[in-house]
A and B are shown apart, each in its own frame.
Chain A
Amino acid sequence: MPSPDASLWTDFLAGDERAYERLFLTFYDELYGYGMRLSNDGELVKDSIQNLFQRLWQRRTELRAVEAVRPYLFKSLRHEVAKAIKAQQRRSWLQSSYSEEFKVQYSPEDFIIAQQLTAEQHARLLGALGQLSNRQREAIYLKFFDGFSYERIAEIMALNQQSIRNLIYQGTQSLRRSLTPVLLLVLLHGGERVCQ
């Protein structure tokens, strides 16, 4: 990760409130987006981010320098959101039979596919994304949209790297099965596909 994050982090650990607030402002939008994809509950996500940052401040003297700030925050937020969801489920006796396992709510609509696709093609891809498991969607999202390495995604999702690779492999393969006819169609219609 770029060094500005690292120096903000070091300043924050030293008790610099401005660095602390800069961290909050720098990562808020991304964390909010990630949190909403995890739970789709605005209040829960806002509270989770508040808890995350309050805890950071209280524990700043115990915290060590982290290798990379961004994945650390993603990982911590995932933990906060999971905790909040569990607490919610425990409070609601109607849902007491729900599994203890934390379910990620990644929705297919979060993906907007390259602009050259028609509405029909887009719909088809959304359909394919809908077939994926939550974990596959989350891993694919962290990989391609957020641009994390396999190593970082493994940290964030608390799985080993091979599991992450498998999730992404299975996910993209199943996406491609839906996408290939679309691409063929595009190619047959005179190569209007834009080369990147």
Chain B
Amino acid sequence: MDFTHYSVDDFVLDESFQAFVAGTDAAAVRFWQAWLAEHAGKQAEADQAQDLVQGLRSARPYPVPAGLKRQELLRLRQARRPLLAQFQLRRQRRVRFAAVALAVALLTGGWWQWGRPAAGAGPMTQLATGPGQHRTLALPDGSVVVLNGNSTLITAARWTAETPREVWLTGEGYFRVAHLAPRGRTDIAGAPANVKFVVHAGGLTVSVLGTQFDVNSRPAGTKVVLSEGRVAVDRPAWLTRENLLMQPGDLVETSAAQPGLARRHVQPALYSAWTEGQLKFRQTPVQEIVQLLRDAYNLRVEVADPAILHQKITGDVAASNLDLLLPALAKSLDIQVTRTGDVVRFQSEAR
């Protein structure tokens, strides 16, 4: 292209010339330097154009007040979370329920937050496992979570001493929570958010100070099994709030069919056995093993002969593989165990 007829204005308006002045395009810089060296007669016009472009380029960025950006980011987060929650509620439930939900939310100051990370929380990070996969996660506060297959744990992405110890679980996880409260402190509810440790799972809020427990939250229901220490379980409902304090060996559950909190006593070691990969039966009544199959493996168990339930078993068996577990039970009990889909039948061996 011929630039010898270019006026000052032509130079100013030429995007390639602008890039040369700004130095943003190496090819343009090389081209115009070479071109100007060859066309000394156009130097004066090019200089004028260059001055104008350079002058306009060096306009001062608009002064942004210090801290405004961060402050506005927080505002964005706060505005966004409730909107999101309201929006999802509206989609999930019919309109009249949404109206009730909104009113309740306003009255109770955000009870709906148990389902998802709360307003004002920082960026979240999500850790997940595929089918049959186990993952051991060390949290920044010193706590350890073992995730069972098909499970997801959501935590704050950045974790400081001030961050509430709070996680959201779907699927199953075994928690070994680091104890941060001063020695002798036992009041869980009254502990500061960065001292107590809270697991949100399937409509339950599980609060502890430092202990070991298993949480299993599947679509059918949510179960908490306490190995040691103390755990407070809350179930916020539409207008009420149910809570209880678990003792070691307690299993507390809620399900779609029976939403109220139900408590019974189990052998907690059986419920955390999946983390080790080994079920260790020590004079364990079949009754408890049947219970375990129902609770942890979500199987329907039918026992034809009640006498079987009172037998006791000792031995180790792989926890993760039902194809090994069920034959092992059959062999050691000398019974027949048949599985059809999710239904398992225990029958006395026909001799």
Q: Given A17-B124, A145-B56 in contact, is the A50-B79 Cβ separation under 8 Å?
A: yes
Q: Given A144-B59, A165-B13 in contact, is the A17-B123 Cβ separation under 8 Å?
A: yes
**Does B123 contact A18, Cβ atoms closer than 8 Å?**
yes
Task: Judge if B188 is at the interface, Cβ distance under 8 Å.
Answer: no
Interface residues on B, range: 35 or more
B152 to chain A, nearest CB (A): 14
Report how far A33 CA is from B24 CA in the complex, Å.
22
Q: Given A18-B123, A46-B72, A149-B15 in contact, is the A144-B57 Cβ separation under 8 Å?
A: yes
**Does A144 contact B56, Cβ atoms closer than 8 Å?**
yes
The one of A53, A114, A172 in contact with B58, judged by C-beta atoms closer than 8 angstroms, is A114
**Does B8 contact A57, Cβ atoms closer than 8 Å?**
no
Task: Judge if B93 is at the interface, Cβ distance under 8 Å.
Answer: no
Nearest neighbor of A46 in chain B, beta-carbon distance: B72
**Does B57 contact A145, Cβ atoms closer than 8 Å?**
yes
**Does A29 contact B79, Cβ atoms closer than 8 Å?**
no
Chain A residues whose CB sits within 8 angstroms of the CB of B243 once the complex forms: none
Q: Given A46-B72, A172-B13 in contact, is the A141-B64 Cβ separation under 8 Å?
A: no
Nearest neighbor of A140 in chain B, beta-carbon distance: B56
Task: Judge if A36 is at the interface, Cβ distance under 8 Å.
Answer: yes
**Does A110 contact B59, Cβ atoms closer than 8 Å?**
yes
Task: Judge if B73 is at the interface, Cβ distance under 8 Å.
Answer: yes
Chain A residues whose CB sits within 8 angstroms of the CB of B8 once the complex forms: 176
Report how far A6 CA is from B123 CA in the complex, Å.
21
Task: Judge if A21 is at the interface, Cβ distance under 8 Å.
Answer: yes
**Does B73 contact A25, Cβ atoms closer than 8 Å?**
yes
Report how far A193 CA is from B43 CA in the complex, Å.
14
Chain B residues whose CB sits within 8 angstroms of the CB of A102 once the complex forms: none
Report how far A143 CA is from B19 CA in the complex, Å.
11
Chain B residues whose CB sits within 8 angstroms of the CB of A118 once the complex forms: none
Q: Given A21-B123, A29-B69, A144-B18 in contact, is the A114-B54 Cβ separation under 8 Å?
A: yes
Report how far A147 CA is from B77 CA in the complex, Å.
31
Q: Which of B1-37 contact A (CB under 8 A)?
A: 8-9, 12-13, 15, 18, 21-22, 24
Task: Judge if A3 is at the interface, Cβ distance under 8 Å.
Answer: no
Interchain Cβ contacts within 8 Å, total number: 112
B15, B51, B68, B76: which has the most chain A beta carbons within 10 Å?
Answer: B51
Interface of B, secondary structure class, is helix
Task: Judge if B50 is at the interface, Cβ distance under 8 Å.
Answer: yes
B22, B72, B79: which has the most chain A beta carbons within 10 Å?
Answer: B72
Task: Judge if A175 is at the interface, Cβ distance under 8 Å.
Answer: yes
Task: Judge if B83 is at the interface, Cβ distance under 8 Å.
Answer: yes
Task: Judge if B55 is at the interface, Cβ distance under 8 Å.
Answer: yes
Nearest neighbor of B19 in chain A, beta-carbon distance: A147
Interface residues of A (CB under 8 A from B): 17-18, 21, 24-25, 28-30, 32-34, 36-37, 46, 49-50, 53-54, 57-58, 110-115, 117, 125, 140-141, 143-145, 147, 149-150, 165, 168-169, 172-173, 175-176, 179-180, 183, 193, 196
Report how far A149 CA is from B50 CA in the complex, Å.
18
Nearest neighbor of A110 in chain B, beta-carbon distance: B59
Chain B residues whose CB sits within 8 angstroms of the CB of A183 once the complex forms: 48, 51
Report how far A37 CA is from B63 CA in the complex, Å.
11
Report how far A24 CA is from B80 CA in the complex, Å.
13
Report how far A36 CA is from B68 CA in the complex, Å.
14
**Does B75 contact A50, Cβ atoms closer than 8 Å?**
yes
**Does B64 contact A29, Cβ atoms closer than 8 Å?**
yes
Report how far A183 CA is from B47 CA in the complex, Å.
10
Chain B residues whose CB sits within 8 angstroms of the CB of A143 once the complex forms: 18, 56
Task: Judge if B184 is at the interface, Cβ distance under 8 Å.
Answer: no
Nearest neighbor of B117 in chain A, beta-carbon distance: A17
B33 to chain A, nearest CB (A): 11
A6 to chain B, nearest CB (A): 18
Report how far A140 CA is from B12 CA in the complex, Å.
11
Report how far A28 CA is from B72 CA in the complex, Å.
9
Nearest neighbor of A37 in chain B, beta-carbon distance: B62
The 3 closest A-B pairs by CB, nearest first: A33-B62, A144-B56, A113-B55
Chain B residues whose CB sits within 8 angstroms of the CB of A117 once the complex forms: 55
Q: Given A17-B123, A193-B51 in contact, is the A54-B76 Cβ separation under 8 Å?
A: yes
Nearest neighbor of A18 in chain B, beta-carbon distance: B123
Can you list 26 A-B pairs with a CB-CB distance of less than 8 A? Answer: A17-B124, A24-B73, A24-B76, A28-B64, A28-B69, A36-B62, A50-B75, A50-B76, A50-B79, A54-B76, A54-B80, A58-B83, A113-B56, A114-B54, A117-B55, A125-B55, A144-B53, A144-B59, A145-B57, A145-B59, A150-B15, A172-B12, A172-B56, A179-B48, A193-B47, A196-B54
Q: Given A54-B80, A58-B83, A147-B22 in contact, is the A173-B9 Cβ separation under 8 Å?
A: yes
Chain B 101-141 interface mask (CB, 8 Å, partner A; 1/0): 00000000000000000000001100000000000000000
